[in-house]
Amino acid sequence: MATSNKPISLAGPLDADVQRTAELNKFLVEAGLYESADESARREEVLGELDKIVKDWVKQLTSQRGYTDQMIEEANAVLFTFGSYRLGVHGPGADIDTLCVGPSYVNREEDFFIVLHDILAQTEEVSELQPVPDAHVPVMKFKFHGISIDLLYASVSLLVVPSDLDISQEAVLYDIDEATVRSLTGCRVADQILRLVPNIESFRTTLRCLKHWARRRGVYSNVTGFLGGVNWALLVARVCQLYPNAVPSMLVSRFFRVFTQWRWPTPVMLCAIEEEELGFPVWDPRKNPRDRTHHMPIITPAYPCMNSSYNVSTSTLRVMIEQFQFGNKICQEIEMNKASWSALFEPFNFFEAYKNYLQVDIIAEDDADLRLWKGWVESRLRQLTLKIERDTYGKLQCHPYPYEYADPSRQCAHCAFFMGLSRKEGVKIQEGQQFDIRGTVDEFRHEINMYMFWKPGMELAVSHVRRKEIPAYVFPEGYKRPRPQRHVNHQHQSDKNNTANGALTGSPDSQLKRKHDTTGIDDTEPCRSVKRASISPVHPRTLSPRSGNISDEPRSDSQQKVTSNASGGSQDSPGSGNRDQTKCSSSSHASEKSLDSVASGSKCVKMEAVCSDDVTSKHVDCISPVKDSTAPTVAVSTTLKRVAEKVVLELVGSESIGGNNAELLQIAEKDMGNVLVENLHFGGNGVPQSGLPEELEV
C-alpha cells in the first residue's frame, strides 16, 4: 500500500535538532519510561508459559472431541502480541495485549470463556482473572506472575493452525464472524503500522514521548472518550510519513503543529481504504451515515478499515485540541531555547481548571467486586458525557478525567471519577439560566444498574462538587490549594445583604452566583427549601435517591451527601435485610457537599429538562453519615416516598460572553451532539484529501 499524500518536507535534522533529540531521549530515560533488561526477559518467560497453556488447552479439547491421534498431535494454537508491546513502546509495569488464534472447532463462548477460564483459574501463577465476554472485543484479563495480560481469542477457519500463520493476509478472515475480525484487528493493525512508517526507531521514540505526554495531560484513555494506544500510534505514524527524514525532537514538534491545524473531522489515514470481497463493513462516510457523525476519525490501515477513535465526543475533542495547542506552544519555546522538555510534560491541573464538577463514586464490598463493578461503570462513563451533550444541545461541555481516586477513610472498596463542567465558549446564555440534566443523570444511573453481574454492595453515587469542595484525597500529599483572590464588589455586597438570608461569605464568583440564584424566583420560596415527591415512575424494587440543584450557592455542612445504592431495594431485595447500608461511609464525607433535593417543575429550574424514558432497574439508596456542627452523625435510609434521583446543573454567569453565535453547533434533534463530516473530498484512490490547510508551515 502506498500512502495517500506526499510528505510535507523531506528535510533532515540540523545539529540543533540532533542535540534536542539527545536531550529528549535523556528525559525519557530519567522519567522511567524504559523497562529493565530483567523485566523484558521476565515478560518473554511469561509469554512462553502462556503459549504452552493455550497449546495444551487446544490439544485437550481436540482429544475430548474424538479426533484422531494425528489430529491431536498436530492440534495447535498460536499466540500473538499487539498494542504497545508489539510496537516496542511499552514501559515498566505495562500490560501485554495478546491474541490466541485457534482452530475452527474451538469456539470463544464455551471453550475460551469457560474451559480455558477454568484452567487459568486453577493456575497458581494467575490472579485477578476477569472475563469480559460481552465487550466490543471479548477479552480475558488477568495477571500472570504479576504481569497484566489482556488475552483475546480468534477461531479461524482452519482445522490445524500452522505455527508460522501470517495473520496479515486477508485469507485469515474467510468464514469468520465480526467479533473474530475485531479480535484479529489489533495484531493486523500493529504489523501494518510498522510496515508503513519510514523509520521504526524514530517512530518508537516519538510515540513513547507522546503517550507519556498524553497521560500527563489527562488525554490518554479510549474508554472515556479520549485516545488510546492505537490512536496515538496512528497519529504519530502519520506525522512520520509527512516528515520521513525527521528525528524525534522534530517529529514531536511537527506532531503538535500538524494537529493544531488539522481540519477535523477530516480523517487521519496511513493508506488507502481497501474494499475486499469478503463483505465486512469498512469506514466510508459516503455510504454509511453513521460514519459521518464521527468527530475525530483515525482510520486503521488493515482491512477492514475502521475508525479507531469512535469514542471521541465534541467535548473530549475540544479538550484534546486545547492540549495540542498547549504542546505546540511549548515546542515553539523549546525550539527557541526558551523552555526545556520538562515544561512539555507538566501535568494538567484538572482540579483547578473548572468551577463545577460531577463526582461519580463507585463502591463495592471488596476489591474483587470493585474491579468488576468499576470496569462496568467506567465503560459507561462516556455515555454520560454524550447524554449531557445531547440534552443540552452541545451548550454544556464535559471534561471526563480518565484517572480514578480512592478515599482511604472508607471501610469498603471505593473509587471515584470526576468530570469538569463548563459552558461552551461563545454561547450566550441568559442571566440565571440553568441546564437541567436531572433526567440525563437519572437515565445514566438506570443504565448502570442494568449490570447483569451485579452483587449486593455494588453502589453508585453521582453528585455535584465545586472546585473548593473537591475531596482532599484527590490531591498528592503535601499539596496546598491556591487561595482565590478576594476583590469584593461593594454593589454586589449591598445586593447580597438585601437578598440573602445571612452574612456575605465566599468568593466574588460565589457572591455573583448567589445573587443570580434569587433572580426570577419567588423570594418567599427559597430554592433550597423546595422538597417534593418525585413524579418519576419507580420500579417496585427500586428506591430512588435524592439529588438536586447544582448551583454555585454555598451549602451548609448539615446538608447530606446522597449515595445511590445499586444493591437492591429494602423490599424483597436479596441480601438487603442483614446488610449494613452505611458501613462503607465515613465521617470524612462531611467535606463532600450533597445535592439539594429539587422537585420537577420547581421554580429553581429555568431551562426545560430534556429527559429520556425512565428505565426500571434495581437499586437502593442510603444517606451517608455527615458531620453537623449541632447534631451527631446520622445515617438515614430513604424510602419509596423519597424524591427520585435528579441532578440540576446550574452554571450562572454575569459576565458578557464573547464569541460568535454562528459558531454554535446546529444539531438535529435525533443526532444531537454529532458533528457531520461535511465537504469531505475523496481522491481517486478513495482517500480523503488532507485535513491540513495549504499554508501549513514546514
Catalytic residues: 84, 95, 97, 150, 211, 220
| Kind and range of the H or E run holding 435 | strand 435-436
- The beta strands (E) that lie in 179-281 are given as none
405 secondary structure, DSSP code: B
Work out the number of other CB atoms within 10 angstroms of the CB of residue 679.
7
| Kind and range of the H or E run holding 422 | strand 413-423
- With beta carbons less than 8 A apart as the criterion, state whether 67 and 75 touch: yes
Give the C-alpha distances (Å, rounded to integers) separating 285 from 282, 297, 307, 667: 10, 10, 11, 18
Residue 674 CB contacts under 8 Å (≥ 6 apart), including other chains: 293, 295, 667
The residue to which cell 481497501 is assigned: 274
The residue to which cell 523531506 is assigned: 10
- With beta carbons less than 8 A apart as the criterion, state whether 213 and 394 touch: no
Residue 632 C-alpha cell reads as 451527631
For residue 375, which phi and psi values (nearest 5 degrees)? -60, -40
- With beta carbons less than 8 A apart as the criterion, state whether 442 and 614 touch: yes
- With beta carbons less than 8 A apart as the criterion, state whether 102 and 154 touch: yes
List the alpha helices (DSSP H) in 449-507.
Answer: 490-499
The closest alpha carbon to 51, from 83, 96, 92, 5, belongs to 96
| Kind and range of the H or E run holding 50 | helix 37-64
At CA 186, angle to CA 183 and CA 190, rounded to 5?
160
The 596-597 sheet, strands edge to edge: 435-436, 648-649, 548-550, 596-597
Residue 206 CB contacts under 8 Å (≥ 6 apart), including other chains: 236, 239, 240, 248, 251, 252, 255
Q: Which DSSP string corresponds to 425-443?
A: TT----TT--EE-HHHHHH
Residue 460 C-alpha cell reads as 453508585
